[in-house]
Structure 1
């Protein structure tokens, strides 16, 4: 899978570093001294335990006289990493899923996000991200969403908490457009969205998003995510518990018709805020 291939690529980076360092007649400590890191740190690069920063890769090229090999390889490996490492395998699996069920208590799921909404989330998450970095992430997410336009698209079920509709990510105009996108997807019948209203109170599963995926030729999996990490789960007993939790969330949600009405109403509320400012 994606994680395995990426690990192998960084192992190759480390093997090349070791080979070229030894050809130059340098120990790890000697190379470390020349590029302003410890010898132990060089050892971690060579064993693919750690990944060097770009400036270190550039200094390694200068010291070992490798003609920019390590800088070019670094750029290639970083650029190809379009998703967080913990999400890479999930992004691959969703392309072959026959059914995807998302629960999102805080933000709109990635497959339904508009570009402006996604950009607003990233700006809040990392205000120092460059425009190029942000655009790469946005492009990757928009490409993922293309699975909903395919003839073989999966059944896509989404449960949102009302909180997602009311929080003005990117401002009221961005939110109105985002909710309009969801309404359009519902009416196109590419997704079935239901809402857990504030009136239902808290739910035990509302501390983070989670996803269920089913496949024609493989067992189902579950995926849970928090702010800084995600976990893909294929243990049958745990997946079964996650499926039961999703069923309970579905019971707590409004009907599809009532949910559509609430989403459209929330979009109009945000538009009203735009008109009054």
Structure 2
């Protein structure tokens, strides 16, 4: 099965009902004397995810409600409120499910040919990307989007460690999004991440006669039950791929790209040379 969004793909925008549900969760949590981290432990979600639910940025999944309700002595209230939850028209519905899957993934593979993946972006780079692409956002929304993007990066070091693989086109860095200083800081961040034991970072060089990634960026995710899922996005649409045959094709392409890209040591050497050239 493949789920695809129409125009308007992007990060979630909270509706009034999502905000109201989140406020109720927050009120019940505080009444119970719990921190977000404690509620996250009970529901098997991260504290950041609990925060997103409380702020109305993320739709609560049934398993969250099933565990949070009894723990907060509010099951009937939360269960009833979920019947009226709404997403804003045009909201990328894949985001809610993908974000929840990402929170619990045990492996995550990402290929990017447009920008540095969000999980690896510095604050300055994220700001340059967000403010470069129309529509123009108010300052408050820009800062909110940056904060949410940076908060997701806790996945890099969360316990137990998740296995992460990134393949990034060299051209993404050669573009110097945000200017030389921003690019230099971003390369420093990539070099830092490359030293993490659970992360494999590879650069796809500018010249590669054979390239399995011509169809564009993609992500692959291994769920706790070892089921693999895929995701990709375009200009104004996105797709969450659950069909095993389609996911298998994506996995084969990614495996070929891993052999075509520079290895870890070569990647670090290239990044260091690029940093020195700025």
Count of aligned pairs:
200
Q: Pick from 161, 168, 177: which aligns with 1:169? A: 177
Q: Say whether the 8 Å CA contact 2:177–2:183 is kept in structure 1.
A: yes
Matched residue of 2:207: which SS? helix
Distance in 2, matches of 1:165 and 1:201, equals 20
Q: Which has more radius of gyration?
A: 1
1:211 aligns with 2:233: no
TM-superposed CA distance for 1:98, in Å, is: 0.4
Q: Given the alignment, which residue of 134, 155, 166 partners 2:142?
A: 134
1:258 is matched with: 266
The corresponding residue for 2:201 is: 193
Using structure 2 for the length normalisation, give the TM-score. 0.65
Candidates 181, 184, 190, aligned match of 2:189: 181
Question: What is the CA–CA distance in structure 2 between the aligned matches of 1:134 and 1:205, rounded to whole Å?
Answer: 31
1:114 matched residue in structure 2: 122
Question: Contact 1:110 / 1:141 at 8 angstroms: preserved in 2?
Answer: yes
CA contact (8 A) 1:160 1:194 kept: yes
Q: Is the 8 A contact 2:221 2:230 kept in 1?
A: yes
CA offset digits 1:186-220 (Å, max 9, x no partner): 11334211111112146352342100000222511
Q: What is the CA deviation profile of residues 209-238 of structure 1, one whole-angstrom value per residue up to 9, with x for unaligned ones?
A: 100000222511011111222111010111
Q: Distance in 2 between matches of 1:136 and 1:110?
A: 14
Question: Is the 1:169–1:175 Cα contact (8 Å) retained in structure 2?
Answer: yes
RMSD: 2.8
Q: Give the alignment partner of residue 235 of structure 1, picking from 243, 247, 257.
A: 243
Alpha-carbon spacing, 1:157–1:204, altered in 2? closer, same or farther (3 Å): closer
Please state which structure has a larger fraction of its residues in helix: 1
Distance 1:157 1:231, change over 3 A: same
- Residues 175 and 85 (structure 1 numbering): CA distance in 2 closer, same or farther, change over 3 Å? farther
C-alpha distance after superposition, 1:124-161 (max 9, x if no partner): 11362111010111111111111112122311100111
- Residue 152 of structure 2 is matched in structure 1 by 144
Q: Is contact 2:212-2:254 (8 Å) kept?
A: no
Change (3 A) 1:158 1:169: same
TM-score computed with the length of structure 1 as normaliser:
0.66
Listed as ranges, the gaps of 5+ residues in structure 1 are 13-75, 271-277
- Point out which structure has higher relative CO (alpha carbons under 8 A, 6+ apart): 2
